[in-house]
């Protein structure tokens, strides 16, 4: 009997449709009840969001209501997946589907009538460009790299054109389907690797603890669409060596080729990670004499690398210039850290509860991974893909180092967690299933409680320290430089006025909070390097040199500090402000020659620069 055929120690064994032994007993908590609980959780979170919009965003009771709703979603699913009661394959798939859909609906409930998340507004602008021009690669001043990877915008614009749906609705459908498909593919991969659908379900639960699972991995952004193609390529690579029928082989090879192409044209980093992953798998199979799998993985790795390089050279040459500052900053900070210098990451401003959750999650993961590695050595050391997962999961420790030692480390670590948590989740699941099995086998049920608490801490850490940040976890009134909470009715009305009255594509100066709303709803071209206009007591002619046509001034910049730590997209004083901008610096435009006030809503004033 192989490892995959060995029943979990705390269950009476039976055989599933794949011939592997799993346990079937009567559950005390039906999956249907768990689904109802998740639906109630979404409703409770939506109520908390509504309270925030009505002015209770900073109230403790509204925040507690949000967490109560999340508990209704997360806790029953975690209990069921980790409990000693057995699950069928269908129940496991249902549970991970309920979790994925419920958390996606939570994101939708945050802004149910239109996009407000900055990254989504940037891709909305790109989709509008395609619909209006009928062409790809149209310049997007909000996210210049986006037109070079038009997969998301192309699919969304096609769906909107065919169905007549709005870009917002079509975007929600595309992002939601892509996110759910990625989770399903992950489940199939984990099941194939481990030989157990319970381990696969727990692995998906562990993957859902990464800080971007419920935010960036499910938003209307290009990575969301690239991820399922990334997963499909890995699944095809796994399946191809075992196929004997030519028709099946051709089918899965076609899936692999199309998935690689879709990944390459949709998201840069995902395509690079895909090529690297396939090369590592090929090398592992080669070392373990899995010649056939090594050959297939090498062919697909080479194809991925050539496709990514070709796209980079001929279609997206600006990618390196876009990614280079992030890579250089990370390397410089790590180099200084290992050389004995001081870490450049600023001290955390998160609430104490968030910091405690983050520290607890790091400790739990640091313990689970070695336990999982031991299980790999005991049971899966002849399985190259699981061995690769164990080796690559070490990258989680690197991500932790980046998170705490690099400037903007939390953001970089969060983006990387989308990929590092794929192998780490499988290793964690092997550890968790082993620990629960030991607890039941030895009749020490109290040991299962810390396991459940640890997983829940991981889940709530991902929610608390993900996106939106703590200062806008609930939607609410306008917040200076507050990302989503800077996109409100007054700002949208002003932005739409610029489009109707001034026409599209004008060069604007604006603050960070209004940058995205002006570039999307207003369809204008806001500039980034404009902080000098707002932080000087006098108006200079440098604005004409930049080709500026209009200046957007929000008077509230002089009333409170920026929630994000910076007032402007490119702000040389980011993180250094101790008091709001002086009111005189914002009022100077009223007395400056060559400026005309053409719009005034009370808070927002727009000035037009005279033609040079």
| 436-445 per-position pLDDT tens digit | 887 776 666 6
Among 138-147, 338-347, 572-581, the least confident range: 338-347
Which pLDDT belongs to residue 4?
A: 38
pTM for the model stands at 0.91
The pLDDT, as a whole number, for residue 346 is 55
Residue 21, pLDDT score: 39
| 31-65 per-position pLDDT tens digit | 999 999 999 999 999 999 999 998 876 788 999 99
Question: In the prediction, which pLDDT does 592 show?
Answer: 86
pLDDT reported for residue 400: 85
Q: What would the mean pLDDT of 343-347 be, rounded to a whole number?
A: 52
Which letter does DSSP use for residue 148 in this model?
G
Q: What is the mean pLDDT of residues 191-212?
A: 95
In whole angstroms, give the CA distance from residue 484 to residue 474.
10
CA angle 52, 53, 55 (to 5 degrees): 65
What is the C-alpha separation between 571 and 532, in angstroms, rounded?
A: 9
Per-residue pLDDT at 35: 96
Task: Tell me the C-alpha distance between 317 and 78, whole Å.
Answer: 45
Q: Which of 235, 220, 270, 16 is nearest to 111 (CA)?
A: 220
In our burial notation (b when 16+ CB lie closer than 10 A, e otherwise), range 206-223 reads bbbbbbbbbbbbbbbbbb
Average pLDDT, the chain: 88
pLDDT in tens, 210-221: 999 999 999 999
Return the number of other C-beta atoms located less than 10 Å from residue 334's C-beta. 18
In the sheet that holds 507-509, the strands lie side by side as 525-526, 507-509, 550-554, 604-609, 595-600
pLDDT at 26 over 60: no
Is the pLDDT confidence value at 467 over 80?
yes
The CATH number given to 483-609 is 3.40.50
Residue 358 has pLDDT above 50, yes or no: yes
pLDDT at position 338: 63
* Percent of residues, the chain, with pLDDT higher than 70: 90
Residue 114 has pLDDT above 50, yes or no: yes
pLDDT for 519 beyond 80: yes
Q: Which pLDDT score is estimated for 339?
A: 66
Task: Check: CB of residue 458 under 8 Å from CB of residue 572.
Answer: no
3-state helix, strand, coil split of the chain in percent (to 5) is: 65, 5, 30
Percentage, residues of the chain above pLDDT 90:
70
Q: What is the pLDDT of residue 340?
A: 58
Taking the C-alpha atoms of residue 601 and residue 135, their distance in angstroms, rounded to an integer, is: 36
The DSSP bridge partners found for residue 606 are 552, 599
Mean pLDDT on 1-25: 37
Q: Any idea which of 433-442, 522-531, 553-562 has the lowest mean pLDDT?
A: 433-442
Break the chain into its structural domains and give their ranges: 12-220+318-472, 237-317, 483-609
156 by Cβ neighbours in 10 Å (0-12 / 13-18 / 19+) ranks as buried
| Least confident window among 22-31, 252-261, 572-581 | 22-31
Secondary structure letter of residue 44 according to DSSP: H
Q: Averaged over 176-181, what is the pLDDT?
A: 98
More confident residue, 23 or 274: 274
CA dihedral 483, 488, 493, 496 (to 10 degrees): 30
Range name among 243-252, 299-308, 402-411, 479-488 with the lowest pLDDT average: 402-411
Instruction: Please tell me the predicted confidence (pLDDT) of residue 298.
Output: 96
Question: What would the mean pLDDT of 337-352 be, rounded to a whole number?
Answer: 62
């Amino acid at each position: 009997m192989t490892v995959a055929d060995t029943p979990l120690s705390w269950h009476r064994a039976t055989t599933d449709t794949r011939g592997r032994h799993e346990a079937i007993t009567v559950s005390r908590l039906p999956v249907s009840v768990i689904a109802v609980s998740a639906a109630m959780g979404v409703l409770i979170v939506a109520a908390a969001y509504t309270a925030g919009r009505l002015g209770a965003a900073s109230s403790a009771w509204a925040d507690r209501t949000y967490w109560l709703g999340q508990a209704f979603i997360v806790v029953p699913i975690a209990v069921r997946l980790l409990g000693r009661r057995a699950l069928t394959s269908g129940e496991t798939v249902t549970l991970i589907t309920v979790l994925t859909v419920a958390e996606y609906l939570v994101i939708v409930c945050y802004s149910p009538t239109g996009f407000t998340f900055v990254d989504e507004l940037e891709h909305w602008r790109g989709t509008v460009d395609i619909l209006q021009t009928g062409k790809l690669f149209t310049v997007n001043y909000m996210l210049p790299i986006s037109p070079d990877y038009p997969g998301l915008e192309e699919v969304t614009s096609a769906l909107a054109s065919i169905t007549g749906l709005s870009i917002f609705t079509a975007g929600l459908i595309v992002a939601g389907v892509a996110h759910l498909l990625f989770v399903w593919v992950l489940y199939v991969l984990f099941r194939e690797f481990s030989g157990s659908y319970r381990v696969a379900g727990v692995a998906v639960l562990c993957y859902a603890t990464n800080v971007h699972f419920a935010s960036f991995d499910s938003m209307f952004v290009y990575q969301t669409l690239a991820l399922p193609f990334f997963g499909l390529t890995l699944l095809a690579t796994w399946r191809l060596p075992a196929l004997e029928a030519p028709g099946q082989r051709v089918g899965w090879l076609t899936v692999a080729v199309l998935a690689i192409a879709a990944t390459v044209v949709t998201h840069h980093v995902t395509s690079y990670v895909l090529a690297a992953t396939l090369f590592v798998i090929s090398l592992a199979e080669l070392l373990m004499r899995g010649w056939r799998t090594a050959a297939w993985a090498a062919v697909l790795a080479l194809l991925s690398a050539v496709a990514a390089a070709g796209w980079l050279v001929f279609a997206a040459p600006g990618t390196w210039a876009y990614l280079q500052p992030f890579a250089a900053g990370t390397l410089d900070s790590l180099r200084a850290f290992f050389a004995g210098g001081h870490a450049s990451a600023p001290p955390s401003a998160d609430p104490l509860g968030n910091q405690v959750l983050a520290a607890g999650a790091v400790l739990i993961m640091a313990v689970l991974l070695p336990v999982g590695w031991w299980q790999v050595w005991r049971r899966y050391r002849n399985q190259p893909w699981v061995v690769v997962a164990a080796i690559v999961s070490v990258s989680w420790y690197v991500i932790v180092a980046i998170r705490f030692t690099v400037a903007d480390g939390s953001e970089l670590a969060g983006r990387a967690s989308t990929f590092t948590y794929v192998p780490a989740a499988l290793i964690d699941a092997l550890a968790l299933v082993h620990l629960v099995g030991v607890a039941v086998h030895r009749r020490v049920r109290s040991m299962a409680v810390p396991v459940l608490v640890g997983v829940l801490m991981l889940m709530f850490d991902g929610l608390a320290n993900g996106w939106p940040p703590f200062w806008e976890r609930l939607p609410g009134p306008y917040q200076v430089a507050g990302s989503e909470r800077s996109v409100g009715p007054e700002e949208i009305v002003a932005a739409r006025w610029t489009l109707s009255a001034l026409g599209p594509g004008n060069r604007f100066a604006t603050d960070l909070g209004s940058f995205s709303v002006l570039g999307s709803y207003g369809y204008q071209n806001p500039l980034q390097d404009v902080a000098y206009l707002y932080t000087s007591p006098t108006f200079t002619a440098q604005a004409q040199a930049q080709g500026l046509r209009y200046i957007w001034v929000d008077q509230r910049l002089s009333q409170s500090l920026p929630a994000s730590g910076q007032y402007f997209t490119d702000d040389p004083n980011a993180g250094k402000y101790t008091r709001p901008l002086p009111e005189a610096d914002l009022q100077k435009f009223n007395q400056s020659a060559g400026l005309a006030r053409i719009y005034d809503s009370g808070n927002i004033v727009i000035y037009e620069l005279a033609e040079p």
